[in-house]
Amino acid sequence: MVELLYLTHDEIIRCKALEFENIIRKLEQVFDCHYRKDFVLPHKSVIRWGDAMSETSTGRINSMPAYVGGNIRALGIKWIGGFPANRNKGLPRATALIVLNDPDTGLPQCIMEGAYISAMRTVGTNLLAARYLCKKDSRKLGVVGAGVQIRFHVKGFLNAFKNIETVYAFNRTRRNGLKMKEMMNGASAEICLVDSIKEAVEDVDILISGTTSNAPLITTEKIKPGTTYFHFSGNECTYEFLNQFTYMFVDDWEAIRHRNNLTPALMHQEGKFNMGLIKGNLGELVAEKVSGRSREENIIFCAMGIGISDVAIAKSVYDEARDRGLGRKMPLWENLNPLFTD
């Protein structure tokens, strides 16, 4: 009999593999492999009903196959949908499945809920970059947006930067802002809902934007020296705002350029992006081939999110779940058919 393991959302969130520190350690290994080019990463393929801007209204599904080597040896695919109208139906905007395959035989090993892993991977990537790019004594965090990704980021950054005293949060709808503040009750920093993007942007040490907007929200705001901006959701800032930064780091420039929905990629497409702004990628930071912050530079970290991170974290979850007896074993072949084996 050939079996695979099925893991629900409730089962994967019980795994210690999804604690922030464990995710960051795993991502260090992933980006070391990225630096050494020990990975296979086909471009994302996207199903959508219109152009890139249509995704913010009608939705889309991304297919993200990947293999990462080293000591990880994870092979699989993430199939993730984002449908904004789901929120009006009481359903999650993002839903996902991750399928893992045995890297030696190709046989499916596991199917698991993937949206939680995807969200934690996004935060973990930014937290790993933050270790190299943020001021250690950062005290003010600014966020634009108040949805799931921002809530995960606030929690993760407060955990990583103990000196943060205040979070300045702007959201276009007050209701979501209040929801985030309620969910952050008991946080180590004061959560201040502000009435303008300017208040969330101009006097902070760390800035994070994470919305579903299809047009820039951050426009003419001026950043203070030493700001680190995490840009990962879409075309959320104007070209003029981005030009305030001293340099940029990326997770994978080719992935960013191919997906072509983040501000630097759109600038590049129009011939308005200075490639000299990119100082290096996260793998080079991890491998200590480039230096991170050294003074009061303004730094932007731009991350598309890449499948090698998803499958590596999913593999850690799978290994832990199997050891702990979590999940349901499901038969793939109860009896191997000779037509397939001879």
Taken in order of first residue, the domains within the chain and their CATH numbers are: 2-118+307-341 (3.30.1780.10), 129-302 (3.40.50.720)
In the prediction, which pLDDT does 51 show? 81
What is the pLDDT at residue 176? 85
pLDDT of 53 higher than 80: no
**CA-CA distance, 7 to 95, in Å (whole number)?**
14
Quickly state the pLDDT bin for 1 (edges 50, 70, 90): confident
Mean pLDDT, residues 37-59 taken together: 89
Could you write out the DSSP letters of every residue in 217-283?
A: SB-S--PPTT-EEEE-SSS-B-HHHHTT-SEEEES-HHHHHHH--SHHHHHHHTT---GGGEEEEHH
Q: Tokens in use for 15?
A: 């795994």
pLDDT at residue 173 in the model: 87
Mean pLDDT of 45-58: 85
